[in-house]
Amino acid sequence: MGLVAAALVVVAVGARALGPDRDEPPPGELRVEEATATPSPSRSPRPSPSPRPRPSPRPTPAELPGTWTAGAPSPVPARYGGAVAWTGREVLVVGGSIDAGDGTAVDLALEGAAYDPAADTWRVLPPPPLEPRRTPAWAWTGEELVIWGGVGRLGVLNDGAAYDPAVDTWRALAPSPLSPRGGARGVWTGTELLVLGGGDLAAGLADGAAYDPATDRWRPLPPAPVPLGFPVVFGIGGEPTATWTGRAAVTVPPISYVGPGEERVRVLALDPAGGAWSELPEVEGSQLLAIVGEGDDLTAVVVDYSGSGPRPRAHRLAGGAAAWEPEDGPTDALESTATAYDPGARRLWLAGSRPATTGVLVYDLTGGTWSRTTARPGPGAAPDPAVGTVGAVWAGTELVVLENTASGALQVNRWRPAP
């Protein structure tokens, strides 16, 4: 299917989490002990795809000139599974599982904070009218941070709230038609927050709904052809992320599909206006990290597990093409990834551990080339590789990366390109 007719939600049904499991429920939450089976969506067998030429060998990334600095200490503790959003002035951090410094969750977070890179200062946000939670669906609308659902101390949730930094206040959302769930994808289209899939205590879910913050109203969306999540008690998969590219909203749910003889990421598309789902060509690899849409063309970064660890590779899909074209990927393995996109320079940032030991990988969409920053700073040591990266945003002139440290603190690291 082409991408010409309407704005689409593109959903990649792809893969295992990078690095160690970071979604362990804190004490007091429902859990399953020794889960031995991984649920998978029901689907008909697919024919073996036609072989395509392999790209050239992986190059070693060139070093990108620039400078790292550590930001001011955060007033809130280390966490994962919360919302991390850029407002155009501040980085908002809300909710999630509080981390003990070794990847172990000790409780759920309610409080949030805002970081101003220009002033290098933090401020604590007022508490939302919600109970503490992890893995909610969320999106920045241009005026508000909207969060909905998630996993609380006693189970899954289906309420939400919106925070307006201009007046420093929260408001409760109207009741949603969706059942309680965690790990749903939140996709902002420019007028609506699309909440897709997720999982409850028993199963992954395929249904969704659209929320209009201007009217405080919801409308149901048609279910996807397959569940877009796992039961939350399994505690598996990476935290779902989503982005609106201008023509498509892109999300990465934690589901893997193993094709005949190779792993491939299944890509689904939803027209939120017409309400029809369709399929785009599958992408070869184990997990989709990010998609950037420009008109009818898509660029995806996918990891595979060949060699000594998960390694990213870029793929391009021209409008109307029947298959993705693989491009070069770097020699670096990559763990616990957060992504950010700089539309001005057309650069995609992959912040995680292991790129030449804690630098950040950068993919240039214009030249189709990879580069790497130097290692980012830590509190006397590199960021804790067992915890990984919490979030990353491109803040107009610099990259802001949030890390959990071994001391249980939330660390800010900032990279500014050389003049």
265-277 pLDDT, tens digit each: 888 888 888 888 8
Query: Does 174 score more than 80 pLDDT?
Result: yes
Please provide the DSSP assignment of 149-212 as one string: EEE-SSSEEEEEEEEETTTTEEEEPPPPSSPPBBS-EEEE-SS-EEEE--B-SS-B---EEEEE
User: What secondary structure letter does DSSP report for 77?
Assistant: B
Q: Which of 73-82, 178-187, 206-215, 244-253 is predicted least confidently?
A: 244-253
Residue 280 near residue 270 (C-beta atoms within 8 A) = no
pLDDT of residue 253: 53
21-65: pLDDT as tens digits: 333 333 333 322 222 233 333 344 444 444 445 555 566 888 899
Integer-rounded Cα radius of gyration of the chain = 20
How far is it, in rounded angstroms, from Cα 137 to Cα 133?
11
Question: What confidence score (pLDDT) does residue 103 get?
Answer: 60
pLDDT of residue 50: 45
Q: Which residue has the higher pLDDT, 318 or 209?
A: 209
- Higher model confidence: residue 16 or residue 382? 382
Query: At residue 72, does pLDDT exceed 50?
Result: yes
Decide: 249 and 235 in contact? Cβ < 8 Å: no
For domain 8-29+62-417, the CATH superfamily is Kelch-type beta propeller (2.120.10.80)
Per-residue pLDDT tens for 282-334? 888 877 788 887 777 888 888 877 656 678 889 998 887 999 999 878 877 77
Q: Give Cα separations from 398 to 24, 293, 318, 352 (angstroms).
A: 32, 22, 30, 17
Which pairing describes strands 91-94 and 83-86: parallel, antiparallel, or unpaired? antiparallel
Average pLDDT over residues 372-395: 69
Predicted pLDDT of residue 11: 60
Amino acid (one-letter) located at 299: T
- d(C-alpha 336, C-alpha 385), whole Å: 8
Residue-averaged pLDDT of the chain: 78
What are the structural domain ranges in the chain? 8-29+62-417
Task: Please state, as a whole number, how many other Cβ atoms lie within 10 Å of the Cβ of residue 380.
Answer: 8
Task: Please tell me the least confidently modeled range out of 171-175, 210-214, 409-413.
Answer: 409-413
- pLDDT tens digits, one per residue of 328-361: 788 777 766 788 999 899 999 988 765 545 688 9
Higher pLDDT, 396 or 6: 396
Please give the model's pTM, rounded to 2 decimal places.
0.84
Q: Would the pLDDT of 252 be above 60?
A: no
Query: Exposed e or buried b for every residue in 322-355, given b needs 16+ CB within 10 A?
Result: eebebbebbbbbbbbbbbbbbeeeebbbbbbbbb
For residue 74, name the pLDDT band (cuts at 50, 70, 90): very high
How large is the average pLDDT for residues 8-23?
Answer: 45
Residue 166 above 80 pLDDT?
A: yes
**pLDDT at position 112, please?**
94
- What is the share, in percent, of the chain residues with pLDDT greater than 70? 72
Looking up tokens 């509080």, which residue turns up?
Answer: 98
First to last CA, the chain: 43
Contact 258, 276 (CB under 8 A): no
- Under DSSP, the state recorded for 345 is T
Report CA-CA distances (Å) from 395 to 63, 87, 141, 360, 415: 21, 9, 16, 15, 10
- 55-64, 104-113, 292-301, 362-371: least confidently modelled range: 55-64
* Choice among 60-64, 71-75, 82-86 with the minimum mean pLDDT: 60-64
- pLDDT number for residue 55: 53
Q: Which amino acid is at 111?
A: E
Read off φ and ψ for residue 124, nearest 5 degrees.
-85, 135
Q: Residue-wise over 75-106: b if at least 16 C-beta within 10 A, else e?
A: ebbbbbbbbbbbbeebbbbbbbbbbbbebebe
Alpha carbon 211 to chain centroid, angstroms = 20
Distance separating alpha carbons of residues 391 and 331, to the nearest angstrom: 23
